Structure 1
Amino acid sequence: MEYKPHKYQEYATQRILDTPYIALLLEMGLGKTVSTLTAIDLLLNDYFEANRVLVIAPLRVAEDTWPREIEKWDHLRHLRISKVLGSAAQRRKALKADADIYVINRENVEWLVSEYGSKWPFDTVVIDELSSFKNHQSKRFRALRRVRPMIKRVIGLTGTPAPNGLIDLWPQIYLLDQGERLGKTVTGYRDRYFVPAERDGHIVYKWKQKKEAEQRIYEAISDIAVSMKAEDWLELPPRVDRTVSVRLSDQARALYKKLERDLLLPFADADVVANTAAALSNKLLQMASGAVYDEDRGVKLIHDAKLDALEDIIEAANGKPVMVFYNFKHSFDRIMQRFPQARTLRKGKDGNEDIRAWNNDEIPILLLHPKSAGHGLNLQESSCQTVVWFDQIWSLEEDQQANARVHRQGQTRRIVVMRLVAEGTIDEDAVAALERKATGQEALMQAVKARIARLNENGGE
């Protein structure tokens, strides 16, 4: 296919060429992979400023997206790519291959660094989904930090650089500029831009931004960060978000309320901290979807109301493919039992075949988990117009990334995103948090505390 770049893609490519280390904070669907590959080709073959290029990406993106983009565009087909995936022996063989670009999944970064030590051979490194290096204590961050002085060019790609707040930015920017802009240490970064919000002695559980911290941070990194929003550049067809209220039967509602009360009452007079809130909200969301794991990992069924609602939606789609996101294994099992024609994406080459089949309307119902389908998958070529969230989640990043699998560049149809929300359950809190653009831990903690407070007001009834 002939590559006819948008103006913003030309700009992004030029910024990569002009800037030794850069973050492209491009929203999903803006074609950051082809923009980056175009720059890499120029650096390798025109400017001679790159010799060996490493791409670090989520596993499925490493396996499928980068090779597929090279095959797709005429001007890139001469590039040779080696997939450093699989067993240690397979990875070592791939590293010895004569290639222009070596692509590895982020879980094996630590292995790669230990494999080469001080003989690190890659002068250019692309970090696809830079936000996956947001934890300064993670092994992958520490490993890449060790070899960062040996890398001439770093290109960081992400659409969601700070999904849980600006506290996440320091490790990502450090891998670009080695601490020039936001400080050499995470402690210095926190002291400069944040104050403790919740602490226990010397341990700080939560940080709060200082006044004008956001503006100062963005000013500090503005010369090495390019931020673009899809709505500013692409004329995408409209996306309609709908909340589908699912009414539980009296029996199911009573069972949900009983289980909710039994779950929450032990905490009525105790502090609910982050790990407790996460466990409690997880159980409540399971119950809202119709089943819950018991202490022995058995499944306790509560209702089929969401399955019935999903059946109505699939029928209304009139034969067009429907994409369904689930968050719990028992939800997946129950959906498959009700709709045996449904499929999910397999791993490796089988998964590539599944993507092809979906984009050719050969799969009527595609079940996806937001964590495994969140980055880099191009699923917009099918005639699917209906996306259903069977289970509700707290993560804004996962929600945005997942919905962008179909609502992205190349989509020509209106997309309807439907969220199945069980009335009177924690589903309502999760969806409200996403609508407020609140994310993750803080939102779920407040929701759990509110439900405990309600139980106290009702005397445990």
Structure 2
Amino acid sequence: MSFTQPSLLPHQALIKQYIIDHPHCGIFLGVGGGKTLTVLMALAAVRPAGHILVVAPVNIARSTWIDEIEKWGIPLRTRSLIVNDNDKKLSRAKRLARYAEVFTDPPTMYFINQELLKDLVDNMPISGTGKNKVFQWPFPTVIFDESQGVKNPASTRFKALKQARSAIIRLIELTGTPTPNGLLDLWSQVYLLDQGLALGATMTAYKEKYFRVTKHANNRPIAWEPLPGAEEEIYARIAHLVMSTKNTSITMPKAAVEDINVSMNAEEMEAYKDFKTGLVLDLAAANPGEPITTVVAKNQAVLVNKLIQFASGTIYTDEQHNYRVIHDYKIQMSDYLIRNTDSPMLIAYMFRSDRSELLSKLTAMGHDVRPFDGSRAMVREWNEGKIPVMILHPASAGPGLNLQDGGHTLIWYTAPHSLEHWIQMNGRVDRMGQKHPVTIYRLLTKGTHDTRLPMNLERKDMVQKGLLSAVHIEAEEVQALAEEFTSDLSDLYEPVPF
């Protein structure tokens, strides 16, 4: 396939120029803004020497980047460090062999998921001995897609990238959700760009300068809030490193979010309230002669998790994720919405029990339901309109996937606690290229913790929008910069493996 130079939208052209002019930069662009193609066009213009490493969530690394390269016929040699040419997971031995081949391969764009970054760094050779040891890093250009993945400076992926940072000539961070839980998430992402110049050399120093403690547990601080004026100073200090620009040249169908209430009966509601106050739930025997099953929430965090699960209709009864069905009101509402919608349907779930119930009961109701398996083949089938109902977990299938061609309706079976999950999952259908108005249904069980989640998301979103607005750059400012430089409870739910 020959290379077809795509016509970039005005905002993409600005971002392309910004990347060209800034070797180390963050592109904090809203979900669906065309970051992948824009970065590829910037790299085509820069023509960086040597290998390029793309670090991304597994599904983006497996499909999104390669799909764009193939779509436009971009002349880049690509190779995955995750899967083979048939999209099958590499064995440990074959992955180590590919690591070694990096040093003899011609210039290539490599792909690896964030979880394997430490493994890659740990298996890079070190030459010399003692004080003369030299860490060999063969990727002078690194793209970290969904950079909120390194928001925790204690994570192994942050430490791995920090180890390689001095050997990286060009680093590009991409995200539409840089602060999913507040401004504390920002430090490690910015540190990797400038190695501590803007926001301090350590997370501790960052906290001490810009935040105050609001909560302690066992005499240890566990919650912070920005000091007066801190947000404005933080935004100002990173303005030269990150860019966010709003697309004003294209009209996208506005997504409509509709909250749909379902109700438990009086007996179920009473059991819910008793569980909430007493942290103990007694379930009647599933079959005659069997004993009562008792479910205990060990602490408040576990309780919140179980209350959210209860509201969606099931509850785990042991550590092996065996579960009991409490009700099926959300199943019934999902069935109704599917039957009364003219679009293939995405359904986002949070618990393994959600997945099992959706798959078995909607299938029994006559719907063609398929769980997302993470493969490029399934993404293509969805976008070709061949899958009427696809169920997926936002932690496994949210960031970066292009699903806008296959449908324009999404059901949140379990309302999300995570702003990152909410924005990224919605952005699979509400993004550039979507030709229909997008409808997002959020199923909420009245009188339960469900009804608090929308307000929690709105509060988190205010902080996020403050950052994106603060680093918004207009066209004239970008041109001026170009000329100058030329001269919490958010992880309550278990992700489900494919």
When normalised by structure 2's length, the TM-score is: 0.81
How far is the alpha carbon of 1:107 from its aligned partner?
A: 1.0
- The whole-number CA distance in structure 2 between the counterparts of 1:229 and 1:277 is 40
Of 250, 266, 289, 1:250 maps to 266
- The whole-number CA distance in structure 1 between the counterparts of 2:417 and 2:460 is 10
Of 331, 334, 339, 1:307 maps to 331
How far is the alpha carbon of 1:114 from its aligned partner?
A: 1.5
1:235 maps to which residue?
251
How far is the alpha carbon of 1:227 from its aligned partner?
A: 1.2
How far is the alpha carbon of 1:112 from its aligned partner?
A: 1.2
How far is the alpha carbon of 1:249 from its aligned partner?
A: 2.5
Aligned pair 1:359/2:367, yes or no?
Answer: no
1:43 maps to which residue?
46
2:405 maps to which residue?
381
Q: Number of matched residues?
A: 424
After superposition, the C-alpha distances for 1:229-261 in whole angstroms (9 at most, x for unaligned) are 45x454111211111010223333333334334
How far is the alpha carbon of 1:228 from its aligned partner?
A: 2.6
Of 175, 183, 191, 1:174 maps to 191
1:24 maps to which residue?
27
1:225 maps to which residue?
242
Q: State whether residues 50 and 138 of structure 2, in contact with CA within 8 Å, keep that contact through their aligned partners in structure 1.
A: no
- The whole-number CA distance in structure 2 between the counterparts of 1:111 and 1:404 is 30
Of 77, 88, 94, 2:92 maps to 88
2:369 maps to which residue?
342
Of 186, 197, 201, 1:184 maps to 201
After superposition, where does 1:53-452 map in structure 2 within 5 Å? 53-74=52-73, 76=74, 78-85=75-82, 86-95=90-99, 96=101, 97-116=105-124, 117=126, 118-200=135-217, 203-229=220-246, 232=248, 234-263=250-279, 276-295=299-318, 297-318=321-342, 320-340=343-363, 341-347=368-374, 351-382=375-406, 384-437=407-460, 441=488
Gaps of 5+ in 1: 266-274, 446-461
How far is the alpha carbon of 1:21 from its aligned partner?
A: 0.3
How far is the alpha carbon of 1:2 from its aligned partner?
A: 4.9
Q: State whether residues 395 and 439 of structure 1, in contact with CA within 8 Å, keep that contact through their aligned partners in structure 2.
A: no
Change in Cα spacing, 1:9 to 1:51, as seen in structure 2 (3 Å) is same
- The whole-number CA distance in structure 1 between the counterparts of 2:280 and 2:361 is 31
Change in Cα spacing, 1:444 to 1:298, as seen in structure 2 (3 Å) is closer
Of 14, 17, 21, 1:14 maps to 17
- The whole-number CA distance in structure 2 between the counterparts of 1:284 and 1:36 is 42
How far is the alpha carbon of 1:346 from its aligned partner?
A: 1.2
Gaps of 5+ in 2: 83-89, 127-134, 282-297, 464-487, 493-498
After superposition, the C-alpha distances for 1:255-285 in whole angstroms (9 at most, x for unaligned) are 33343343279xxxxxxxxx94331111001
- The whole-number CA distance in structure 2 between the counterparts of 1:337 and 1:237 is 33
Q: State whether residues 49 and 107 of structure 2, in contact with CA within 8 Å, keep that contact through their aligned partners in structure 1.
A: no
Letter in 1 for 2:45: L
Q: State whether residues 84 and 90 of structure 1, in contact with CA within 8 Å, keep that contact through their aligned partners in structure 2.
A: no
How far is the alpha carbon of 1:192 from its aligned partner?
A: 1.2
- The whole-number CA distance in structure 2 between the counterparts of 1:152 and 1:287 is 50
Letter in 2 for 1:91: R
Alpha-carbon RMSD: 2.2
Q: State whether residues 122 and 151 of structure 1, in contact with CA within 8 Å, keep that contact through their aligned partners in structure 2.
A: yes
Q: Percent identity?
A: 35
When normalised by structure 1's length, the TM-score is: 0.87
Change in Cα spacing, 1:91 to 1:18, as seen in structure 2 (3 Å) is same
- Structure 1 runs (4+) greater than 4 angstroms displaced: 442-445
**Which structure's relative contact order is higher, taking Cα pairs within 8 Å and 6+ residues apart?**
2
Change in Cα spacing, 1:42 to 1:88, as seen in structure 2 (3 Å) is farther
**1:295 partner SS:** coil
- The whole-number CA distance in structure 2 between the counterparts of 1:175 and 1:315 is 48
